[in-house]
Amino acid sequence: MQKLFDEVNSLDKRCYEKFFLSEDLLMEHAASSMALYISENYLHLNSILIVCGSGNNGADGITLARLLHTKFNVKLFLASSPKSPISELQLKRVEALGLEIVDALSPADIIVDCLFGTGLNKPLNEDSINIINTLNSYDSIKIACDIPSGINNIGQVESIAFEADITITMGALKTSLFTDLAKDYVGEIIVANLGVQRNLYEVESNKYLLEASDMKLPFRNKKNAHKGTYGHLNVIVGSKRGAGIIASKAAFGFGTGLLSVISKEDLDLPYHIMQTDTISENCTAIAMGMGLGKYDKEEIRKLLNTDIPKIIDADLFYDELICEFLDKEIVLTPHPKEFCSLLKLCKITDIDVIELQNNRFKYVEEFSKKYPKIVLLLKGANVIISQNEKLYVNTFGSAVLSKGGSGDVLSGLIGSLLAQKYKPLDAAISASLAHTLAARKYSKNNYSMIPSDLVEEIRRL
Residue 387, beta-bridge partner list: 390
Q: Which helix (H) or strand (E) holds 392?
A: strand 390-394
Q: Is 57 annotated as a binding residue?
A: yes
> What CA–CA distance (Å, rounded) separates 23 from 12?
8
Q: What are phi and psi of 150, to 5 degrees?
A: 110, -20
Q: Is 434 annotated as a binding residue?
A: no
Q: Is 285 annotated as a binding residue?
A: no
Q: Is 184 annotated as a binding residue?
A: no
> What CA–CA distance (Å, rounded) separates 389 from 371?
9
Q: Is 146 annotated as a binding residue?
A: yes
Q: Is 24 annotated as a binding residue?
A: no
Rounded to 10 degrees, the C-alpha dihedral 129/131/136/138 comes to 160
In this structure, the strands spanning 375-378 and 383-387 are: antiparallel
Q: Is 380 annotated as a binding residue?
A: no
Q: Is 243 annotated as a binding residue?
A: yes
Q: Is 113 annotated as a binding residue?
A: yes
Q: Which has the closest alpha carbon to 167: 438, 442, 429, 395?
A: 395
Q: Which has the closest alpha carbon to 112: 77, 151, 153?
A: 77
Q: Which has the closest alpha carbon to 236: 304, 176, 189, 190?
A: 304
Eight-state DSSP code of residue 72: B
Q: Is 319 annotated as a binding residue?
A: no
Q: Is 61 annotated as a binding residue?
A: no
Q: Is 33 annotated as a binding residue?
A: no
> What CA–CA distance (Å, rounded) separates 36 from 89?
22
Q: Is 125 annotated as a binding residue?
A: no
Q: Is 59 annotated as a binding residue?
A: yes
> What CA–CA distance (Å, rounded) separates 447 from 437?
16
148-151 long-range CB contacts below 8 Å, 24 or more apart? Answer: 148/113, 148/182, 148/185, 148/186, 149/53, 149/113, 149/115, 149/116, 149/120, 149/124, 150/116, 150/120, 150/124, 150/185, 151/120, 151/176, 151/177, 151/181, 151/182, 151/185, 151/186
Q: Is 149 annotated as a binding residue?
A: yes
Angle between helix axes 241-252 and 451-459 (nearest 10 degrees) is 10
Q: Which has the closest alpha carbon to 314: 339, 346, 296, 295?
A: 339
Helix or strand or coil: residue 450?
coil
Task: Judge whether 308 and 285 are in contact, CB under 8 Å.
Answer: yes
Q: Is 397 annotated as a binding residue?
A: no
> What CA–CA distance (Å, rounded) separates 181 from 183?
6
Q: Which residues are annotated as a binding site for K(+)?
A: 57, 113, 149
Where is the binding site for AMP, in residues? 407
Binding site, by residue number, is 56-60, 113, 117-123, 146, 149, 243, 291, 335, 407-408
Q: Give binding residues for (6S)-NADPHX as ranges.
A: 56-60, 117-123, 146, 243, 291, 335, 408
